[in-house]
Amino acid sequence: MPGDIWLQINKVDDSQEHRVRELDKDCKEKFRWGWMEKTATVKTSNGAEVQVKLRDCFRKINTPGVVVCVTCSNQTVKYANRGVSSLVDHVKSEKHKKNAAATRQTHTIRSILD
């Protein structure tokens, strides 16, 4: 998929801490790899609460103050002003929950067919 190729080219991983510091030098909130270890409690459409690991949703890219949400087809999420709160708010958004539900359904169907 073209989006997957784009992400592979633009992704920054945790071995490139120096690159992230340079990218975010002018941002109010600087990206921290520790954010990826956090979880957010999200209410599903049926009222159940699930724990969402931020590392399962987001990838740091080669753009200051921005990550992409892989659950939402690489939608950009800006953290430069609000930090990790921006990521948590995104996973709690209706759009993200809808995309996550569709992904879970697809994985369930694939596992049944395999």
- pLDDT recorded at residue 53: 96
Asked if residue 65 lies in contact with residue 27, where contact means CB atoms within 8 angstroms, the answer is yes
- pLDDT recorded at residue 102: 81
Helix axes 94-113, 84-91, angle to 10 degrees: 60
Considering the entire predicted model, what is its pTM?
A: 0.83
What's the pLDDT tens digit per position in 26-57?
A: 999 999 999 999 999 999 878 889 999 999 99
**For each successive 10 residues of the chain (114 residues), what is the average pLDDT?**
64 90 97 97 89 96 96 95 98 94 59 48
- pLDDT recorded at residue 111: 46
d(CA 12, CA 17): 9
- HEC letters along 37-99: HCEEEEECCCCCEEEEEHHHCEEEECCCCEEEECCCCCEEEECCCCCHHHHHHHHCCHHHHHH
